[in-house]
Amino acid sequence: MHSWHRTNLDELKNSRAWPLELFLDDGGVLNDNSLRGPEWLRLIGEFMPARLGGTAEQWASANQVVFSQVWGNLQKRLPDFASHQVFQRTYATTWMRGMCAYVGITPPPDDDAVALYSELSGYIGERATSAIAGAADAVLSLHRAGYTLYTASGTPSWELRGIMAKMGIAEAFSGLYGPDLVDHVKYGPAFYQNVFAHAGVAPSRALVIDSDSECCRWASEAGANAVWIDPAGRGDATTLETLVHALV
């Protein structure tokens, strides 16, 4: 685990900067990625056969193999991408080629593959059931308490819109920041610097809430306060719901 400046919530609550503007991660804070994975398999099988052929079972089996390979390779290369647009296109076309090869069909041209993947991810975001218990109520409690809420997620904004609508909390957010809105992958302090600048929020007034300690470090290096949500108890809170007790 990387070291970073840990936020003292008691001190912040007594400072002039309080209340802060909150930037929430999605996976690990609002949604459980272990629940989301099976939902992707189910909904890919529901979506793809009507578009490209094959069976639901073939597409679900393909993603079990292809996703980990493609994502594992691209994760290592995240610092090398000049923009999120380039990353997203690389991911979508590589994933689509791998999936089609597994199913045994000809992949669509790259531009069509990018558009189809965006449509698929939006479709899944609107339908997947993977919310962490208590997370939606926690967001609504923060909103009612007067906090200004944003997301700061590696998930694109068009997918986040569906995810938040599915949870019933879309209206609680002033902005849904995926990396597409600032054209920067979620890697390094620059991602957070760009998000804060786009939102018009001074870093010193931002509180980033993330499930990844390295993301918390990057946010801290960008000048923000950061809270690490970790179900294993290594962080500052185990869930957003427990953190809300300190904030409201």
Query: One digit per residue, pLDDT tens: the chain, 248 residues?
Result: 456 777 777 777 777 777 789 999 999 999 999 999 999 999 999 999 999 999 999 999 999 999 999 999 999 999 999 899 999 999 999 999 999 999 999 999 999 999 999 999 999 999 999 999 999 999 999 999 999 999 999 999 999 999 999 999 999 999 999 999 999 999 999 999 999 999 999 999 999 999 999 999 999 999 999 999 999 989 999 999 999 988 88
Tokens representing 41? Answer: 């398999």
Residue 16 and residue 12: Cα distance in Å, rounded? Answer: 8
Q: Cis before residue 189, ω within 30 degrees of 0?
A: no
- ∠ at Cα 178 (134, 65), nearest 5°? 85
Calculate helix-pair angle for 33-52, 84-103, nearest 10 degrees.
70
pTM of the model: 0.94
Residue 48 and residue 76: Cα distance in Å, rounded? Answer: 28
